[in-house]
Amino acid sequence: MDALQEFLDRSIYSNDTIHITIKAVLVLIVVLVVTQVVLKFTRIAVTRRLDAEGKDRFKTVFTFLKYFIFSVVIVMSLDASGVQITALLAASTALFVGIGLGMQKLFQDIISGIFILVDRTVTVNDVIEIDKKVGKITEVGLRTTKAITQDEKILVIPNHKFLSEILYNWTQNDVMTRESISVGVAYGTDIDLVKALLLGIAVQDQAILNEPKPTIFFEDFGDSALKFKLHFYIGDSFHLPAVQSRLRYKVYNTFNENNISIPFPQRDVHVYNAKKE
């Protein structure tokens, strides 16, 4: 036993303030393994009762908590093994300051990620608009959030942007959103016919919901056109550009079939020849 105790007390690293033994390292390894096992079973037990969205949120927060718990366990284990933690921290102060300054944005993103997960600013499948970019959320992480754009590109967003910039969440209240297209017709056109044609086009499009019903607004008397706006509701705003494009094709063709012209701004230049006296 004395030989074993002597072996465990053998120093691995030592100076005037820090003394690390084999015993301290072994205790740390055992505690870390036990902590890992406990955390694993805790994660399995909790996620078993959650739905898919709840699992994703829990796993993200759990990752942060796991690192925090491991940090506390390491400090407590070393302290219990006789390592002077105060001296160790004091010797590493300059290193911690440098790391802190260099990872300032990282910590900001992590804290923002926790707020996002707690108050559910965005969730998976939300359609958002931030910094003039539109995307559908595919993953909410602790440091970054991933979204897929309408061009099938992956958008990686640092989480602090959700708290520091204006965010439009198109689908937070409901997946149904109200959208529109605008069109102008020439003066003298039968406006009742225009209204009927636009409503007919909207009703025929499968992407447009029947309830609430599409509506037509007579917006204004323009310089060269009577301005109308077709409002409609869709259940998947992520594909809005395709819906609007399809409607515009249909409007153009339908108006042509009914001899309704879509005017465009133009100017007539009149040249006068001044008579010489």
Tens of pLDDT, residue by residue over 164-196, are 888 888 888 777 889 999 999 999 999 999 999
The full set of domain ranges for the chain reads: 2-91, 119-169, 177-257
Architecture of domain 119-169: Roll (2.30)
Q: 177-257, which class in CATH?
A: alpha beta
Whether 250 has a pLDDT exceeding 90, the answer reads yes
**Any residues with CB less than 8 A from the CB of 203 and at least 6 apart, and which?**
210, 214
User: pLDDT grade, residue 31 (50/70/90)?
Assistant: confident
Which pLDDT score is estimated for 53?
65
pTM of the model: 0.61
User: pLDDT grade, residue 277 (50/70/90)?
Assistant: low
Percent of the chain with pLDDT over 90: 32
Asked, colleague to colleague, whether 119-169 and 177-257 share their fold, the answer is no
Q: What is the mean pLDDT of residues 5-33?
A: 70
Could you report the per-residue pLDDT of 99-155, keeping only the tens digit for each?
A: 666 667 778 888 888 888 777 888 888 899 988 889 999 988 888 999 999 888 999
What CA–CA distance (Å, rounded) separates 57 from 173? 19
What CA–CA distance (Å, rounded) separates 9 from 109? 43
**Any residues with CB less than 8 A from the CB of 173 and at least 6 apart, and which?**
none
